[in-house]
Amino acid sequence: MKTVFCSSIAGVALVGITTCVFAQPPRPPGPPGPPVACSTPGICRIAINVNRCGEIGGISVTPPVMSIAAPTIIEWKITTPGYVFAPNGISFSPPSPQFHLLPGTPPNVVRMRNDHTSMGNFYYYVDVLHCVPVDPWVINR
């Protein structure tokens, strides 16, 4: 989840300057819980449900950890009516060149091609417009 770091500097004329930096906290050491294997050939679907948009934990991702065994399309869909993805709705941290955004989707859907060129755990952010982001995982096995 994204964090805001702010600092203030007081000047000689008692004028304070505040600067803020939006940053993503360090990644957890590994995915929580067991992964769910992608069961649909060619496309892995992940559902996004918005319960409490402005609260930490207010967005649920099903499954929170997706295991993928071959090159495929990953589709994230917001299932709650009235919500859409922010401009950078799905972003991997750190970025991975094997995930390619596919254009031409409705605003509540993001599709990416997973080339499956590297094995391992891939941490990503789900950013729903005006909501607190959530941070699940994709595992290439």
Q: Measured between alpha carbons, how far apart are the two ends of the chain, in Å?
A: 25
Encode pLDDT of 36-53 as tens digits: 999 888 999 999 999 999
Which CATH number applies to 32-140? 2.60.40.420
Residue-level pLDDT, tens digit, the chain, 141 residues = 444 434 444 444 444 444 444 444 455 556 777 899 998 889 999 999 999 999 999 999 999 999 999 999 999 999 999 999 999 999 999 999 999 999 999 999 999 999 999 999 999 999 999 999 999 999 999
Say how many CA atoms lie within 13 Å of 138 toward its Cβ.
34
Domain boundaries, the chain: 32-140
Q: CA torsion angle for 134, 107, 139, 22 (degrees, to 10)?
A: -40
pTM, entire model: 0.79
Q: How far lies 73's CA from each of 8, 38, 55, 99, 131, in Å? A: 45, 10, 30, 9, 25
